[in-house]
Chain A
Amino acid sequence: MTLRSLIIAVFALFLGTAALPGVAAAQIEIDINQGNIQPVPIAIPAFEGGRGADIAQVISANLERSGLFAPINPAAFPERGLNIAIQPNFEAWKKVNAQVLVNGSVAVEGDGRLRVDFRLWDTGAGEQLLGVQFTSTPENWRRVAHKISDAIYERLTGESGYFDTRVVFIAESGPRGKRVKRLSIMDQDGANNSYLTDGSYIVMTPRFSARSQEITYMALRPTGSSIYLFNIETGRQETLGRFPGMVFAPRFSPNGDRVVFSVEKNGNSDLYLMDLRTRAQTRLTADPGIDTSGSFSPNGGQIVFNSDRGGSPQLYVMNADGSGVRRISRGGGRYTTPVWSPKGDFIAFTKQQGGVFHIGVMRPDGSDERILTTSYLDEGPSWAPNGRVLMFFREGRGGEPRLWNVDITGRILRPAPYQGSGSDPAWSPLLD
């Protein structure tokens, strides 16, 4: 071996060791590909102070109804009267299988306002995940409970909450043939239910604005149909105007400054758009079929609607000016009542096929169609503001329509909390 070769060999050995990652750089990988999939077991003891038990109960009911949480039976709680300033006994809570724990306190301030503090704890990690305080007028205690529910839901699922919302719907009563239909409103958990109309005329298809507490709906009187705008907070109502024909299916644009609606005349129905500031109208469709149920995309640039221009009701998407119409539904069956998700990623619809009805969703291009429900009659989906839960109405053969909830995976299907007969639900945005 020459000297040069020896030097090169030694250098190579030197550089080889110098190329090592360095001090303690060994990173050992451990893969976890299985888990214990279940709704999150959560313990929600009564909050300290007046209304504390009520608030805890509302939170518990909200989270349980979402299907993503499993509240622990209070009889199993190892600690009672938790002080929010003291760390809970995590080991004791783990023994009852509580993965997370919520505790809180309620106090009345000097000015009479309610102050509610809560903390969310991870018992496994032994640490606090959230700590927030709310103040409100005393009569708004339920809204505080809903906001706490939203905060917990968001922190643990990564999705926006939907509990601090309301639902307008058509409350139905009376025998068949003489049904009384009233515009009604309730909190999403069924509380604070009240009527907005007196039932002396038929009301249909209410829809919330995405930005405000204003709804639009169709009222049918002996003199004809009208579209109304109704501000729930002020009680102010106004009509959209007079139209040559029957008007129905109004929907707000995302920023609330326009309404798309259908006008029927001589058996033909087309979509129109009205600018609420100027009252200027634009005709969007002009084909001889029935075009109805327009719904804006969240950015306001497109409208999905159903039309039988091809021979049977199918879903179409067009630009908000009426151009670029293209069909998106591809499966067999009849597609109606499309509603664009607030997240923009799905369109919900009613589908009728083989004598049964379904609620389903598809992507805005028509792909990834999923059937979420099946029954004798499921119809009229409405999105919760988080774009992950739908409310619709279901009617059994010979029965009365009832409100139901289903999540976007189809796994969590439950009756809505409203006990009476109802149809045509419309979910509000978050209340602030």
Chain B
Amino acid sequence: MAMDRRQLAPALLVSVMVHAGLLGLALFAWPHTSKPLPFGSAVPVTIVSDAPMTDVAPAVEGPELDPLTEEPIPDAPAEVPLPPAPDPIPAETKTPSKPADKAKPTPTPSPKSNKRSELDFDDLEKRLKKTGGGKPKPGGGDKGPARPASAPTPRPDGAGKGLNASSIAGLQAELQRRWNPNCLVEGGRSVKVTIQIVVAPSGFLIGEPKVVRKSGGSDDLTNAGATRAISAVKGALPFRDLPDGYIGEKLNINFDAQTACSL
């Protein structure tokens, strides 16, 4: 009896530890089940009509805009200092709805957008599970292993093979076409800015673009660079045909004026 107990205790201990390990794997391998996102609560979604613009008549009155600020011209008494301009890089969670959508025709939803006209986390989780729950593999396989512990951040170069690479190359081309780097200004040529976005299945953004890195110049120069980069990102929306692994993930878009201006 004593010998049975001695054999049983280690086995029990190992069993508990293996189960604990598996539980830990389960918790970390399926991130979307542990996302602290409140289902059913207000999720910021940018809704923009994708119907062709045919009516260029003056828009109907929209909502009240931000109040202007005032600065008297110098020969007035006590000059009021110029107040700070509205922050061109709003917080990630702040997404104003489009005020003029009353005037715009209701878009005819495409079959794709019928399925994904709003962010559906259950659907998202299912699709991610189908793909193995990990990062997109080069070549775009349907199934794959769970996300490895030390997977490097994929850096698609647009010259790779497969559907994923060509989708990213298309996105890069679109952003390059719309990005006007500040090359003509001394100091603007050395600015680098990284804009972080999260793309919804619809191709539009979840939340606002976020400046996560900026360097190469004064605050004014880097802010001007960030404004131009964000303009390019928003102008290129919606991002169609992104690989599934890019949907709902943080995408860091690195705008390098140093390289672009030297070409």
Partner of B24 from the list A14, A22, A125 (CB cut-off 8 Å) is A14
B180 touches A14 (CB 8 A): no
B119 within 8 A of A: no
- Using A132-B68, A140-B75 as known contacts, say yes or no to A86 and B62 having CB atoms under 8 A apart: yes
B184 within 8 A of A: yes
Partner of B220 from the list A38, A68, A123, A159 (CB cut-off 8 Å) is A159
Partner of A24 from the list B18, B35, B175 (CB cut-off 8 Å) is B35
A27 to B246, CA, bound (A): 9
- Within the complex, the shortest CB–CB distance from B52 to chain A, in Å, comes to 9
A68 to B184, CA, bound (A): 7
B111 within 8 A of A: no
A158 to B183, CA, bound (A): 12
A432 touches B177 (CB 8 A): no
A133 — which chain B residues lie within 8 A by C-beta? 68-71
- Using A31-B254, A37-B260, A136-B72 as known contacts, say yes or no to A158 and B149 having CB atoms under 8 A apart: no
B107 within 8 A of A: no
A143 — which chain B residues lie within 8 A by C-beta? 73
- Using A78-B56, A136-B73 as known contacts, say yes or no to A28 and B235 having CB atoms under 8 A apart: no
B251 touches A24 (CB 8 A): no
Residue of B nearest to A78 (CB): B56
- Using A94-B235, A122-B231 as known contacts, say yes or no to A17 and B21 having CB atoms under 8 A apart: yes
- Within the complex, the shortest CB–CB distance from B27 to chain A, in Å, comes to 9
B153 touches A28 (CB 8 A): yes
The proximity string for A residues 102-137 relative to B, scoring 1 for CB distances below 8 Å and 0 otherwise, is 000000000001000101001111111111111111
A33 within 8 A of B: yes
- Within the complex, the shortest CB–CB distance from A37 to chain B, in Å, comes to 5
The proximity string for A residues 418-432 relative to B, scoring 1 for CB distances below 8 Å and 0 otherwise, is 000000000000011
Partner of B65 from the list A10, A128, A155, A158 (CB cut-off 8 Å) is A128
B222 — which chain A residues lie within 8 A by C-beta? 158
A23 within 8 A of B: yes
- Within the complex, the shortest CB–CB distance from A43 to chain B, in Å, comes to 14
A22 to B73, CA, bound (A): 54
The proximity string for A residues 34-49 relative to B, scoring 1 for CB distances below 8 Å and 0 otherwise, is 1111111000000000
- Most interface-central of B24, B68, B246 (chain A CB within 10 A): B68
Interface size band for A: 35 or more
A75 within 8 A of B: no
- Using A137-B75, A158-B223 as known contacts, say yes or no to A87 and B100 having CB atoms under 8 A apart: yes
B175 touches A26 (CB 8 A): no
- Using A7-B14, A158-B223 as known contacts, say yes or no to A30 and B184 having CB atoms under 8 A apart: no
B166 within 8 A of A: no
Question: Interface size of B by Cβ–Cβ distance < 8 Å?
Answer: 102
A158 touches B14 (CB 8 A): no
The proximity string for B residues 139-179 relative to A, scoring 1 for CB distances below 8 Å and 0 otherwise, is 00000000101010111110000000000100110011111
B227 touches A26 (CB 8 A): no
A134 to B58, CA, bound (A): 26
- Within the complex, the shortest CB–CB distance from B213 to chain A, in Å, comes to 11
- Within the complex, the shortest CB–CB distance from A48 to chain B, in Å, comes to 13
A3 — which chain B residues lie within 8 A by C-beta? 10, 13-14
A92 — which chain B residues lie within 8 A by C-beta? 53, 56
B71 — which chain A residues lie within 8 A by C-beta? 132-135, 147
- Using A20-B149, A32-B256, A87-B59 as known contacts, say yes or no to A134 and B185 having CB atoms under 8 A apart: no
- Within the complex, the shortest CB–CB distance from B9 to chain A, in Å, comes to 10
A11 — which chain B residues lie within 8 A by C-beta? 17
A280 within 8 A of B: no
A238 within 8 A of B: no
- Within the complex, the shortest CB–CB distance from B31 to chain A, in Å, comes to 4
A10 touches B73 (CB 8 A): no
A129 touches B31 (CB 8 A): no
- Within the complex, the shortest CB–CB distance from B97 to chain A, in Å, comes to 12
B254 touches A32 (CB 8 A): yes
Partner of A32 from the list B73, B179, B218 (CB cut-off 8 Å) is B179
Q: Which of B90-116 contact A (CB under 8 A)?
A: 98-100
A18 — which chain B residues lie within 8 A by C-beta? 24, 28
B235 touches A125 (CB 8 A): yes
- Using A24-B250, A143-B73 as known contacts, say yes or no to A32 and B100 having CB atoms under 8 A apart: no
B252 touches A28 (CB 8 A): yes
- Using A87-B62, A159-B185 as known contacts, say yes or no to A32 and B21 having CB atoms under 8 A apart: no
A158 touches B31 (CB 8 A): no
A123 to B235, CA, bound (A): 8
B73 touches A131 (CB 8 A): no
A-B contact pairs, 5 of them (CB 8 A): A26-B153, A30-B251, A128-B66, A134-B70, A155-B224
Instruction: Give 5 nearest A-B pairs by CB, closest first.
Output: A124-B235, A158-B224, A136-B73, A158-B221, A432-B74
Q: Which residues of B contact A (CB under 8 A)?
A: 10, 13-14, 17-18, 20-21, 24-25, 28-29, 31-32, 34-36, 53, 56, 58-59, 61-62, 64-66, 68-76, 79, 82, 85-86, 88, 98-100, 135, 147, 149, 151, 153-157, 168, 171-172, 175-188, 196, 217-218, 220-225, 227-235, 245-246, 248-257, 259-261, 263
Q: Which residues of A contact B (CB under 8 A)?
A: 3, 6-7, 10-11, 13-14, 16-20, 22-40, 67-68, 78-79, 81, 83, 85-89, 91-92, 94-95, 99, 113, 117, 119, 122-137, 140, 143-144, 147, 151, 154-159, 388, 407-409, 411-412, 431-432
Inter-chain pairs besides A30-B175, A32-B253, A135-B70, 11 sampled, C-beta below 8 Å: A17-B149, A23-B36, A25-B31, A28-B252, A35-B176, A85-B64, A94-B235, A124-B232, A129-B88, A158-B221, A159-B187
